[in-house]
Amino acid sequence: MEPPLDPKCPGHPGVTPAESAIISEVQRMMASPEMVHLHEAYREGVSRIVRIGGRLIQYEPGLPASGMTLFGEGGFVLGPEALTSRAELIRTCLHELHRLTTSQIGSGAAIGRNLVHAETQAAFGFAQRAYEAYFGEG
């Protein structure tokens, strides 16, 4: 279900305040010089760790996935797949931040099948929806 319009988020209508904060953080990430460093690491095939606004992000060339949460660090890992396109990079950052900031499982809640499925759908759905609304080029 789509979240209702929230008048408290005029900068990002159509999302919750928590989601608006994620979108703002990804917008800052994409404009940061550290993101250039991660692209350099991708081209060179080497691992690199940066902090953007205090958030740890690691590029790991040996990770066969787009992204991976690091709950203990409050950060995430990017794999080569994430850097194959601007769209996939943005969606991965949105996805990982959604996980890190909203997951009940990551906060220690008992894992149940329904909760796991709901969080997976929410993370993918938010990343796609936010990308199309606030980062897409068309």
Partner 1 sequence: MQDDGKAWVEVGKAIAADAKVKVMCPVCAEATLEVWDVPWKAEPKRWERHMQCPSCGAYNSLRMKDKPSTSAIDTA
Binding of residue 55 to partner 1 (CB under 8 A): no
Report the run of H or E that residue 48 belongs to, with start and end. Answer: strand 48-52
Binding of residue 6 to partner 1 (CB under 8 A): no
Among 134, 133, 132, 125, CA closest to 102: 125
Distance separating alpha carbons of residues 116 and 130, to the nearest angstrom: 21
| Of the residues 18, 21, 30, 105, which one makes contact with partner 1 according to CB under 8 A | 105
Binding of residue 34 to partner 1 (CB under 8 A): no
> Minimal distance in Å, beta carbon 126 to partner 1?
11
Binding of residue 25 to partner 1 (CB under 8 A): no
Nearer to partner 1, 12 or 99 (CB): 99
| Of the residues 5, 54, 113, 137, which one makes contact with partner 1 according to CB under 8 A | 113
Binding of residue 86 to partner 1 (CB under 8 A): no
Distance separating alpha carbons of residues 64 and 98, to the nearest angstrom: 21
Instruction: Determine whether 60 is exposed, middle or buried from the number of CB atoms within 10 Å of its CB (0-12, 13-18, 19+).
Output: middle
